[in-house]
Amino acid sequence: MRYFTSVSDLGDLSEALRLAKEIKADRFKYDTLGRHKTLMMVFFNSSLRTRLSTQKAALNLGMNVIVLDVNAGAWKLETERGVIMDGDKPEHLLEAIPVMGCYCDIIGVRSFAGLTSREYDYGEVVLNNFIKYSGRPVFSMEAATGHPLQGFADIITIEEHKTKPRPKVVMSWAPHPRALPQAVPNSFAQWSLAAGYDLVITHPHGYELDERFTKGATIEYDREKAFEGADFVYAKNWSAYAGDNYGAILSKDRSWTVDSRTMALTNDAYFMHCLPVRRNMIVTDDVIESPRSLVIPETANREISATVVLKKMLESL
């Protein structure tokens, strides 16, 4: 696997889930595969889980790791082509990328959506520049439109906890004070559908996601109806995708916060969120602290999804 940006890059999903189970049982099973290979993790945005879990995954495979926080210590980077660089940015991304490629064998990139231009974000310009100019295999550590390592970890977690072959999984929009990208909900929808779950997405009008990620899911605007009989509730905020509202906050309605009253409508559902989460905006303290909360098992499975992905990339070197 040279590139990992979406579920389709992984090949057979059930085989990848089998490998995830094998690695979880013995995470050092392939600890010589990455000997003398270097992973470079490039962050244009903040991270706790991705930074730690991907680094741990690389160590499981015997790799060396370099972490670059672009906004802390590197030269400020220009990203637009054609710009006369007489401002505060001394270096261009188009040189910086092949420079990074000189010092590693595999590159992971975190580059969030700017939420000002749908065309620029959904063109995945930064991630695609790494694919084009680094000369190295590249994987997404959450780019503008997807967070595949998170989507993979989420379905590993559902597979571990489901009690029926096709669980009802509800992805529910929840309020947040700042505009967030659609990357996490796009990937959760894409991976849940690929895994064959009965996926219901509920959100206020105007929060419709890109159908390329959600085709096959049921969109239910009546939130209480959506929650009825759910086996898993996945809460997430995202900003508007559709129409002229790209990147906008259309609602901060706190009646969409996941609480014990709405969870009581479900089939004793598990609660899920990718983290970081704003308590009592997205979810109440009691729901996230309840024994049905899977937020920490999801996080733990980030190490597993990253180990599977890096193993498959190392095998293609």
Q: Is 111 in the site for ligand CP (CB under 6 A)?
A: no
**Cis status of the peptide bond prior to 148, with omega within 30 of 0:** no
DSSP count for the chain of H helices, then E strands: 12, 12
- Spatial separation of the C-alpha atoms in residues 149 and 301, rounded to whole Å: 9
Residue of 308, 311, 312, 306 lying closest to 56 (CA atoms): 306
Binding to ligand CP (CB under 6 A) within 256-275 occurs at 274-275
Q: Please list, in sequence order, all residues whose beta carbon lies within 8 angstroms of the beta carbon of residue 42, skipping any fewer than 6 positions away.
A: 68, 70, 100, 107, 108, 109, 110, 130
Q: Is 296 in the site for ligand CP (CB under 6 A)?
A: no
Running DSSP on this structure, what letter comes out for residue 208? P
Residue with tokens 């490039």: 42
Does the footprint of ligand CP cover residue 47 (CB under 6 A)? yes
Q: Shortest Cβ distance from residue 150 to ligand CP (Å)?
A: 5
- 74 SS3 class: coil
The number of residues that bind ligand CP (CB under 6 A) is: 9
Give yes or no for residue 276 binding ligand AN0 (CB under 6 A): yes
Q: Per CB under 6 A, does 177 bind ligand AN0? A: no
In the complex, which residue's CB is closest to ligand AN0? 180
Which phi and psi (to 5°) does residue 55 adopt? -65, -45
Determine if 183 is a binding residue for ligand AN0 (CB under 6 A): yes
Residue of 48, 74, 242, 264 that binds ligand CP (CB under 6 A): 48
Residue 50, interface with ligand CP (CB under 6 A)? Answer: yes
Does 143 bind ligand AN0 (CB under 6 A)? Our answer is no
Residue 49 interacting with ligand CP (CB under 6 A):
yes
Enumerate the H helices of the chain as residue ranges.
13-25, 49-60, 93-102, 118-122, 125-133, 148-161, 183-194, 211-214, 223-227, 260-263, 285-289, 295-314
Selected range binding ligand AN0 among 5-13, 160-168, 179-187, 260-268, rule: CB under 6 A:
179-187
- Give phi and psi for 41, each to the nearest 5: -105, 120
Q: Which of 111, 150, 172, 186 binds ligand CP (CB under 6 A)?
A: 150
Member of 184, 193, 230, 295 binding ligand AN0 (CB under 6 A): 184
Residue located via tokens 């909360």: 293
Partner from ligand AN0, ligand CP, none binding residue 181, C-beta < 5-8 Å depending on class:
ligand AN0
Q: Check binding of 181 to ligand AN0 (CB under 6 A).
A: yes
Residues that bind ligand AN0 (CB under 6 A): 142, 180-181, 183-184, 274, 276
Interface with ligand CP (CB under 6 A): 47-50, 142, 150, 274-276
